[in-house]
Amino acid sequence: MIPSAMLWKAKFNVLLIDLRYNGVSPSGPNQYQTYGHQEHWDVLGAVDYLTTTYPASKKKIGIYAIGMGGSAATIAFSKSDEIRAMWLDAPIIDIPSTISYYIFALGLNAPFLMASLCSAAKSIWSYGCPPFSNDPISSITSISNSSRSVYLISNEKDTISPLFNTERAATLFAEKVTNVSVWKTQQTEYSDCDHHGDSMFIDPTQFHSNIVKYFTAHL
């Protein structure tokens, strides 16, 4: 909400969406988050809504996304060149490595447990185990060379979306889009969400300046 307020006050038109099974979007039994595999259609739906309802928005759409929303936004970005600029805050890009990271952090055998989880997942839902057919990494590599722009920001202490996600995304995007910026922040004090997505609180003035300048320059 804070970045959207910053952009709105800077005279940007802002549309907020809750991805399926997140926020106030409805959910039910046997409905799971899929790291963007399904959720990216929600992002593309929002893009379609904007370009249909407000034709002036064509080729002038930017996305701010955080965490798992960054997974969905990345896949959507690869499928629609209507999205000209994208700010990813602590995105989860390398899904298998991130899940393994969580397992290791618990002191468990990651390869063994990953195999067990994947076997169980296949019996529960049709998507199987990540990486799914719609995956952030494969989506980035599928992008044709583009004059679009991506901004990546992450707290180096983030344990929900470890820094290797942002670093991997930066390397991959650098081969596909004209402009890639990376801002690594550091916060050693207590965080109620393991430093995930808290870069905006470390230096709010600088964050506000950077995000407004970025979208002003690239939209």
Contact 152, 182 (CB under 8 A): yes
Contact 17, 43 (CB under 8 A): yes
Q: Give all strands (DSSP E) within the chain, no chain letters.
A: 61-66, 83-89, 146-155, 177-185
* Domains observed in the chain: 2-20+34-97+132-218 (3.40.50.1820)
Question: What's the pLDDT at 146?
Answer: 86
Q: Cα dihedral angle (195, 17, 22, 82), rounded to 10 degrees?
A: -80
Q: 124-159: per-residue pLDDT in tens?
A: 666 667 777 889 999 999 999 889 999 999 998 888
Q: What is the pLDDT of residue 106?
A: 77
Instruction: Write down the mean pLDDT value for the chain.
Output: 88
State pLDDT tens for residues 36-56. 899 999 999 999 999 999 999
Position 27 scores a pLDDT of: 67
